[in-house]
Amino acid sequence: MNFSEFIEKFATHPNYCAPTGTGLHAKSWQTEAALRMLLNNLDRHVAENPEELVVYGGTGQAARNPEALLQIIKCLLELDENHSLLVQSGKAVGIVRTHPEAPRVFIANSNLVPKWATWDHFEKLRSEGLMMYGQMTAGSWIYIGSQGILQGTFETFAACGTKYFNGVMKHKLIVSGGLGGMGGAQPLAATMTGATFLGVDIDPERIKKRVESGYIDFISYTYTEAKELVLKAKRDGMAISVGLVGDIGDTLELLLNDGIIPDVVTDQTSAHDPLYGYVPNGLTLEAARILRKVASVEYKNLSLKSMARHVGFMLEMQQLGAVVFDYGNNLREMALEGGEKNAYNYNGFIPEFIRPLFCDGKGPFRWVALSGNPEDIRITDQAMIQAFPDNIQLIRWLQKAEERVEFQGLPARICWLGMGEREKAGILLNNLVKEGRVKAPIVIGRDHLDCGSVASPNRETESMLDGSDAVSDWPLLNLMANTGGGATWVSFHHGGGVGMGYSQHAGMVVVADGTQRAEQCIRRVLYNDPALGIFRHNDAGYVKAQQNMKVFNLDF
């Protein structure tokens, strides 16, 4: 198949899909994997808006523009094992000499010198075609649809239940805004813990997409209907989810007026981007699209004021007994800028629930079947259950995921694994390929939201014990350690999750193709990656991480 035929079949804008099966189009599985994952990111079943190359999060792109995407594809098809591709904010800019165990692709997205790291400067560059917003896994080609955040959301809601409700989420109501690429995982994660869920999004298409994929049970167009559905379900202990088409601020206000206080309130709108990620109160979707184009400054100001109102209602609910936490979209900061002076009166989900896991080197571990065959994932699920018989939470998750999670694009799975576990799992997956028990190689990756790969003072590194929230040496060290270890592709981004100026983070992917070379790379990368999390938290003074330095022989 020549280049033109490949493009016609797999990458005719905006209809993208990943090749499947056991045949190579590129020169090795390392570059074939990157190629398939890039196109999978843009598959209409996975991406929010393939027309704009947007994968999730409002503006998170996989490539800068269609022309740049074609050039990246061409390079990946031709790249050999002694060269590596450089990608700068979604555009191929060069090929360098490397070696077979070096990363095949080096990616840098949205990075700006700190003084210039603002939305205004970024938007100027983007309007001139000089930059794109990579989010986290959009621009690093390892997004797997809503399941990518589903397991972490499940972990968070379960931890919330453990901390505040004696481990029982039945008869509990969770209310949240945002049902897009990241927020779309919330309803299924909530019901998997046994809770009742009400999610609100202004865009009905987002809710319809979640209903079609089985992530949301019901769509409602009226507050009254949605309210009655969830209140009955909460009373009866029914784990159902309802997606309400509407404004989250208005919905919270109506609940308050009706004296209905949810047990848990959070939010996953794309609040990090006040121009493209949030629709101001009182505007229809169409009115928002027009105003965004003709009066962007006015639009941003309206968004910030709406977020302040939104957070104000969350704070009222907190005062009335609701468990309220920030889910890492920088809503509190935007609300503060919009005039809500008490915006930070509730905590983020990392210090509330996740940091103890980080001290164990735990975080999101995902894998994708390049064959496209769902049976490969079922085989890996069973192999993981057998490999970790004492990890009850892992087994519970894998069994529920097999029952409830519908694949989007290439079949994939995610779970949270820690130091030692990731390396063991990686070798297991490589052996499944080597033994022919799965049909084709497997991609192993993770979210940038991980124990040692991100500096984000309003999210992952909020309220660090030693005050080192904003130190971004750590994600840079993570990037270098995984490059030296032989990851198949690596990435370094700015702004993912919380917006320009608020975070820096590193990503990695390693391919299990059944070879000895892959095993060596997997052993190094899946040791280095979680070890950085323990190093980071040990240095910050966390006792659990200090203990783990000894448990895993990380002392030096």
**Sequence-separated (6 or more) residues with CB below 8 Å from residue 436:** none
- Omega cis (within 30) before 411: no
DSSP at 348? B
Buried b (16+ CB within 10 A) or exposed e, 11-23: beeeebbbbbeee
Which residue type does 93 have? V
Collapsing DSSP states into helix, strand and coil, what is residue 326? strand
Q: Tell me the C-alpha distance between 435 and 518, whole Å.
A: 14
Two tokens, residue 369: 């079947």
Two tokens, residue 108: 């840098």
Collapsing DSSP states into helix, strand and coil, what is residue 436? coil
Q: How many CB atoms lie within 10 A of CB 222?
A: 11
Q: Tell me the C-alpha distance between 375 and 362, whole Å.
A: 27
Q: Tell me the C-alpha distance between 488 and 265, whole Å.
A: 39
In degrees and rounded to multiples of 5, residue 493 shows phi and psi of -125, 165
Q: How many CB atoms lie within 10 A of CB 116?
A: 13
Stated as kind and residue range, the H or E segment containing 426 is helix 421-434
Q: Are 411 and 377 in contact (CB under 8 A)?
A: yes
Two tokens, residue 152: 């972490």
Q: How many CB atoms lie within 10 A of CB 375?
A: 12
Q: Tell me the C-alpha distance between 468 and 302, whole Å.
A: 33
Residue 196 bridge partners (DSSP): 173
User: Distance of alpha carbon 245 from its chain centroid, rounded?
Assistant: 23
Q: Are 408 and 143 in contact (CB under 8 A)?
A: no
CA 124 → CA 49, 69, 273, 501, distances in Å?
22, 21, 15, 15
Q: Tell me the C-alpha distance between 332 and 282, whole Å.
A: 20
Question: Helix H segments across 345-391?
Answer: 349, 355-358, 374-387
Q: Tell me the C-alpha distance between 442 and 104, whole Å.
A: 16
Q: Which residue, among 505, 518, 375, has the nearest Cα to 443 in the 3D structure?
A: 518
Q: Are 443 and 381 in contact (CB under 8 A)?
A: no
Catalytic residue among 17, 75, 160, 415: 415
The verdict on whether 160 is a catalytic residue reads: no
Q: Which residues are identified as catalytic?
A: 415
